[in-house]
Structure 1
Amino acid sequence: MESRCRVCLTRYGFAVLATLAATWARESLDYLLDDRMPFGLYFLSVMLTVWVAGVGPAILSLFFGVFAAAKWVIDPPYSFLVTNHADQLALVIYAVVGSAAIAIYWRSDSRQIAVNLQSAANAELTERLRAADRKKDNWLALLAHELRNPLAPIRSGIDLLDRETLKSEQVREIRLTMRRQTEQLLRIVEDLLDVSRYSRGQLRLECKPVDLRDIVKQAIEMVAPSIDEQKHDLKFVRCCQPLVVNGDSTRLIQVVSNLLSNAAKYTPRGGRIQILLDGDSESAKVCIIDNGIGIAKEMQESVFDLFAQAESPRNRDRQGLGIGLALVKSLVKMHDGLVTLASDGPGKGSQFCVSLPRQPAETLIEVEPAQLTHQLSDSDSLEGSTILLIDDNQEAVHTLEALLSLDGCRTYAAYDGPAGLEAMTVVQPDFILLDIGMPGMDGYEVVRRIRKEASLPRPIVVAISGWGSDEDRQRALEAGFDDHLAKPVDYAELMALLLDKARTRDEAKAAPERRKPIPIIAGSGRTKAK
């Protein structure tokens, strides 16, 4: 405040000094000018003031010039009256020209200020774009790093499987490693897709009352392999009473498993991870505490930002894409909850707490055994079924064909839409596994043409596609598919789905047969010979 007052005083003081200097100069030159140019030097003082001090002081200088000239220059002396017509005209010209000069300067100055502001905004935008570009490059480097990590053991495992001298136990370990790393790749892809859906407002929740204790239990089962691999000591302190919240169980499991994965990743080998469940009448809370590397104070504000890890891609021992915590925050917010972080700094561990609105325990609906998803038993089989695979990815077709053949299925393959339609008329399959994103004729057009073939038996058509959003699934069902699975498909899930669809179809066929009336034959039932 004081500095502003000092600047203001300096500017307007300059206007006073400029007027006094013009008056002194006019008095000094009076013997030359006499009564001519009474306002000439005051006009120069106005120009000097507007250039040095700005518009406000220049207006003050303009008024001071009028009064000074009237008092000391124009006759009668020492009077503010201007009686001479020539002096009055000079006064008017001085006022008009001075005002015009001030207005022109003000307009020019305003434009310059606008240009300067725009230049500053452009410079800031340029810097932000450069920062975003650097962040993008860093994030792409992180993505390559995160993808290479699981791909390395998968590739090594394939090289090992090429050796014929491996023992069965070694083969089993290799298979388990490859399966774990494949699941890690899938989690990375799913997290990326979920972030994209959330940013576009396409992430949907299917909320119902769920027990938070069950959510944490399932999340632990998902993350257990990585925790065991790092030999962490995991303790789960659970609440004795149900902690019921209204939420999407799949998304809540994703929240807790992401926090547990972070704790396992950023805690040194053999560390401690503790899960606390607690609640009051208003909220239910789950806290995940570790003794890991901790988080610096200056990083705690931005740790939930998307791609926050991309700021420093190579200065940490353990990498991450910086999407897990951002996704956690987004999902918790969609549940009307809050996620918080507490850490005393590097090397002092972290504590993440998720708080959700609590629901009455009476709202929890227990799932009856009859409602549970069908589990495959040894007697369930698709042996003898005919399955047609239509996909432009020939290697994917060959591997899935091999699996289906091991289960006794007769398989046929086509690698584009027209070939698939031709094969369907010849093979007349029980099931069709159809890709959507094929060149030329896509899967939607293929299934529409299949459904128009009324002369052929109606096969069960399942979409197997890289497009896996809810909108993609809905579009597939509307086009005529019986169901939709996203690549890469879990084989057990695929078999369970096909068996379920086959069972539903067989029951639908059997129902009309059971409803047919039993014919009643009149008479004795014996035909007389003629």
Structure 2
Amino acid sequence: MGAPILHQIIASDAMGMLLGDPSGRILDASDSFLALVGYTREDLEQGHINDGALTAPEHGHKDREAAVELRRTGRHHPFEKDLVRKDGTRVPVLVSTSYLGGPEQLCLRFIHNLTERRRSDEAQRRSAELEAERAMLIAELREADQRKDELLTMLAHELRNPLGPIRNATQALRQSGPKGELVERLRDVIDRQTTHMARLIDDLLDVSRITRGKIMLQRDLVELNELVKNIVYDYRNELESSQIEISLSLPDESLWIHGDGTRIAQCAGNLLINAQKFSKKGGRIHIELRADGEMSVLSVEDDGMGIEPELLDRVFLPFTQATQNLDRSGGGLGMGLALVKGLIELHGGTVHAESKGRNQGAIFTLRLPRAPAPTRREEPPLISPAEKRRIVIIEDNADAAESLSLLLSMGGHDVSTAATGPDGIDLVRIERPDVVICDIGLPGGVTGYDVARAIRAWGKKCTPYLIALTGYGRDEDRKRAADAGFDVHLTKPIAPSALELLIAEWTTKIDKQPESGRLG
């Protein structure tokens, strides 16, 4: 191939090309190559460009290896290197060369700019690094979340344990304690607040569902007049001890909604406590329940410190609080109103705040869809003393065991208790009970699951009704209980009437069978 043709090919500027000799001198180059390295054609013509000088120092060995291969075979394998541009910056390139021979031993070199590919490679490398970092972060978050769940599970279990004896004692007092309207109302307060506490613990156990807005509502027909009266009664002493006057306005008609009564009570209670926090001594709080077409409307109005205009739009956001003094007399975490908003919206309702400004008081208004009044429902049947059953309670909490034993004995049952798994297994073997109520977290290395498996291993010799009564209330806890052989899993604190109903239902079924399934 003649030199004129070579120069024509290079002048076509189809890509970065250069014509050189073994010394590294560049005899000709395409405009694309010159632009790539930042030199002008004048620089080229004056001999200021040398192929070897353009190569980054650390890549010089690549040029030498390629020269050896070129002399041996007439070409070399393409390789990558960095070229140093006239301004000192670098550009990555892919180099391939053909040996043309002739008296001048010319070489035709092709230069491919790899900048975009390097960027792409770098982007992919960085993406891979970010993905690895993301995977590591997710793993750390999952581990932290698991530790949090374990902590909350343990905490919920410990908090639930005292609620069982409280509820059992309340029911025992209801059956055989002192009578009177005041005593009955006080027992109702204890019972309602125990229920509320139990439900709040359930929320604590599953924080991830709360943050994702996946709280499960236990819907039923709820009469708001009675609910609001009970809430006001529950909080009246606390409000009056703060020297705050409270007034209540209720409609003549009953207002029903289809919702979760405990959650609605929680919302109303949060609004009352919020009003109390930001009211001064001698202040007033007015609660009004009324009908507005197809909606039930509950408003809580106070004459306290009010809400600044700039805070009004954010008052229902988590952790939002009005300005407080250093003593934080208002207290709280700023979660109450956010919970109200989330729960009311889950019921298909709305919540709204109004205030004319600082020291002008505030009005919080809940609006909930009304529901038709229910038809009369029969109360669930209770166990009668004549339906006597042998029951074994296996529970390490002495108060829980004693109060539940007392309550069931008052129902006419023959009750025995054990405080550990091994003692419980021995007691079941001796007493031959119809029903076994067993805690899960027992001391001594033998859990409630172990107790259930041991009893079920006896086969037809012993088939009591096994009830797991525990502070562990996750779905996986229920599955473990069923797998171990429990017939039912109950989360503390269980309503005594619900426990009686379970035993009554089992009694009805077992009495229809030829044999009771006791130890033979």
Q: Please state how far the C-alpha of 1:320 moved relative to its aligned partner.
A: 2.4
Q: Which residue of 2 aligns with 1:465?
A: 470
Quick one: distance in 2 between partners of 1:186 and 1:408? 28
Q: After the TM superposition, which of the residue ranges 303-312 and 346-355 deviates more from structure 2?
A: 303-312
* Pairing 1:333–2:345 present: yes
* Pairing 1:507–2:505 present: no
User: Could you tell me whether the CA contact under 8 Å between 1:460 and 1:501 is conserved in 2?
Assistant: no
User: Could you tell me whether the CA contact under 8 Å between 2:324 and 2:330 is conserved in 1?
Assistant: no
Quick one: distance in 2 between partners of 1:214 and 1:182? 15
Letter in 1 for 2:85: V
SS class of match (1:205): coil
Greater per-residue strand proportion: 2
User: Could you tell me whether the CA contact under 8 Å between 2:288 and 2:300 is conserved in 1?
Assistant: yes
Q: Which residue of 1 aligns with 2:391?
A: 387
Quick one: distance in 2 between partners of 1:402 and 1:372? 23
User: Could you tell me whether the CA contact under 8 Å between 2:203 and 2:210 is conserved in 1?
Assistant: no
Task: Give the TM-score, by structure 2 length.
Answer: 0.54
* Pairing 1:86–2:45 present: yes
SS class of match (2:89): helix
* Pairing 1:101–2:89 present: yes
Q: Which residue of 2 aligns with 1:342?
A: 354
Task: Give the TM-score, by structure 1 length.
Answer: 0.53
Greater per-residue helix proportion: 1
User: What are structure 1's unaligned runs of at least 5 residues?
Assistant: 1-58, 75-83, 116-150, 152-171, 514-530
Q: Which residue of 1 aligns with 2:266?
A: 254
Alignment of 1:68-83 (within 5 A): none
Quick one: distance in 2 between partners of 1:230 and 1:102? 76
Q: After the TM superposition, which of the residue ranges 188-197 and 289-298 deviates more from structure 2?
A: 188-197
SS class of match (1:274): strand
Label 1:317 to 1:457 Cα distance change in 2 as closer, same or farther (>3 A): same
Q: Please state how far the C-alpha of 1:502 moved relative to its aligned partner.
A: 3.9
Quick one: distance in 2 between partners of 1:404 and 1:416? 20
Q: Which residue of 2 aligns with 1:164?
A: none
Q: Which residue of 1 aligns with 2:418?
A: 414
User: Could you tell me whether the CA contact under 8 Å between 2:311 and 2:322 is conserved in 1?
Assistant: no
Q: After the TM superposition, which of the residue ranges 329-338 and 504-513 deviates more from structure 2?
A: 504-513
Q: Which residue of 2 aligns with 1:368?
A: 376
Label 1:347 to 1:387 Cα distance change in 2 as closer, same or farther (>3 A): farther
Letter in 1 for 2:354: A
Label 1:511 to 1:383 Cα distance change in 2 as closer, same or farther (>3 A): closer
User: Could you tell me whether the CA contact under 8 Å between 1:339 and 1:352 is conserved in 2?
Assistant: yes
What are the Cα deviations for residues 287-330 of structure 1, in whole angstroms up to 9, with x where unaligned? 22222344445555554444556998953213224443332232
Label 1:187 to 1:210 Cα distance change in 2 as closer, same or farther (>3 A): closer
Quick one: distance in 2 between partners of 1:407 and 1:208? 28
Q: Which residue of 1 aligns with 2:439?
A: 435
Quick one: distance in 2 between partners of 1:394 and 1:101? 80
SS class of match (2:452): helix
Letter in 2 for 1:435: D
* Pairing 1:353–2:365 present: yes
Label 1:431 to 1:337 Cα distance change in 2 as closer, same or farther (>3 A): same
User: Could you tell me whether the CA contact under 8 Å between 1:383 and 1:408 is conserved in 2?
Assistant: yes
Label 1:318 to 1:448 Cα distance change in 2 as closer, same or farther (>3 A): same
Quick one: distance in 1 between partners of 2:510 and 2:294? 52
What are the Cα deviations for residues 195-237 of structure 1, in whole angstroms up to 9, with x where unaligned? 5542366631244565555553454454445345546443333
User: Could you tell me whether the CA contact under 8 Å between 1:390 and 1:413 is conserved in 2?
Assistant: yes
Label 1:438 to 1:234 Cα distance change in 2 as closer, same or farther (>3 A): same
Q: 1:205 aligns with which of 192, 198, 217?
A: 217
Q: After the TM superposition, which of the residue ranges 279-288 and 347-356 deviates more from structure 2?
A: 279-288
Q: Please state how far the C-alpha of 1:331 moved relative to its aligned partner.
A: 1.7
Letter in 1 for 2:89: A
Alignment of 1:20-419 (within 5 A): 86=45, 97-98=85-86, 101=89, 183=194, 189=201, 192-193=204-205, 195=207, 197-199=209-211, 203-207=215-219, 210=222, 212-213=224-225, 215-227=227-239, 229-230=241-242, 232-239=244-251, 245-278=257-290, 280=292, 283-297=295-309, 299-300=311-312, 303-308=315-320, 315-356=327-368, 358=369, 364=372, 366-369=374-377, 371-374=378-381, 380-381=384-385, 386-394=390-398, 396-398=400-402, 400-401=404-405, 410-419=414-423
Q: Which residue of 2 aligns with 1:162?
A: none
Q: Which residue of 2 aligns with 1:40?
A: none
Label 1:248 to 1:196 Cα distance change in 2 as closer, same or farther (>3 A): same
Percent identity, please. Answer: 32
Letter in 2 for 1:101: T
SS class of match (1:341): strand
Q: Which residue of 2 aligns with 1:50?
A: none
Q: Please state how far the C-alpha of 1:285 moved relative to its aligned partner.
A: 3.4
Q: Please state how far the C-alpha of 1:436 moved relative to its aligned partner.
A: 1.5
SS class of match (1:389): strand
User: What are structure 2's unaligned runs of at least 5 residues?
Assistant: 1-35, 55-83, 93-114, 117-121, 127-161, 163-182, 515-520
Q: Please state how far the C-alpha of 1:435 moved relative to its aligned partner.
A: 0.6
Letter in 2 for 1:259: L
Letter in 2 for 1:97: R
What are the Cα deviations for residues 29-51 of structure 1, in whole angstroms up to 9, with x where unaligned? xxxxxxxxxxxxxxxxxxxxxxx
Quick one: distance in 1 between partners of 2:230 and 2:206? 20
SS class of match (1:504): helix
Quick one: distance in 2 between partners of 1:346 and 1:455? 73
Q: Please state how far the C-alpha of 1:421 moved relative to its aligned partner.
A: 1.8
Quick one: distance in 2 between partners of 1:195 and 1:382? 45
Across the aligned residues of Structure 1 and Structure 2, the Cα RMSD in angstroms comes to: 5.6
User: Could you tell me whether the CA contact under 8 Å between 1:198 and 1:330 is conserved in 2?
Assistant: no
User: Could you tell me whether the CA contact under 8 Å between 2:353 and 2:363 is conserved in 1?
Assistant: yes
User: Could you tell me whether the CA contact under 8 Å between 1:382 and 1:499 is conserved in 2?
Assistant: no
Quick one: distance in 1 between partners of 2:204 and 2:475? 15
Q: Which residue of 1 aligns with 2:109?
A: none
Q: Which residue of 2 aligns with 1:446?
A: 451
Quick one: distance in 1 between partners of 2:506 and 2:191? 35
Label 1:216 to 1:295 Cα distance change in 2 as closer, same or farther (>3 A): same
Q: Please state how far the C-alpha of 1:465 moved relative to its aligned partner.
A: 1.1
Q: Please state how far the C-alpha of 1:390 moved relative to its aligned partner.
A: 1.1
Quick one: distance in 1 between partners of 2:237 and 2:451? 42
Label 1:248 to 1:488 Cα distance change in 2 as closer, same or farther (>3 A): closer
Q: Please state how far the C-alpha of 1:340 moved relative to its aligned partner.
A: 2.9
Quick one: distance in 2 between partners of 1:345 and 1:487? 45
